[in-house]
Amino acid sequence: MDEEIYNTQIRVERKFFYFTLRQNPRGRFMKITEDVNGRRDSIIIPSTGLTQFRDALNELIDADSKAGPPPLAEE
């Protein structure tokens, strides 16, 4: 059985994201769950990959900043 160590959530537009740090006999991991109108999808990241995940996310944030404002949606 998994043991929850920590959790937090954020809302972005119509989506909720849940971040949970858990552990079981095989190790510790982060579970990220996206909830959109009751539909849930999750990914699991082993704790050994959290630093790499953070680094990749920081690179993505930097690239988004440098790209400027997003184009306007066509109607």
Number of H-type helices and E-type strands within the chain = 1, 4
Contact 33, 20 (CB under 8 A): yes
Q: What is the pTM of this model?
A: 0.84
Instruction: Kindly report, residue by residue over 15-64, the tens digit of the pLDDT.
Output: 999 999 999 999 999 999 999 999 999 999 999 999 999 999 999 999 99
Q: Which CATH class is domain 3-66?
A: alpha beta
What is the separation of C-alpha 31 from the centre of its chain, rounded to a whole number of angstroms? 8
Q: What is the pLDDT of residues 8-17, one digit of tens each?
A: 999 999 999 9
CA geometry: angle at 61 spanning 55 and 65, to 5°?
145
Delimit the domains of the chain by residue range: 3-66
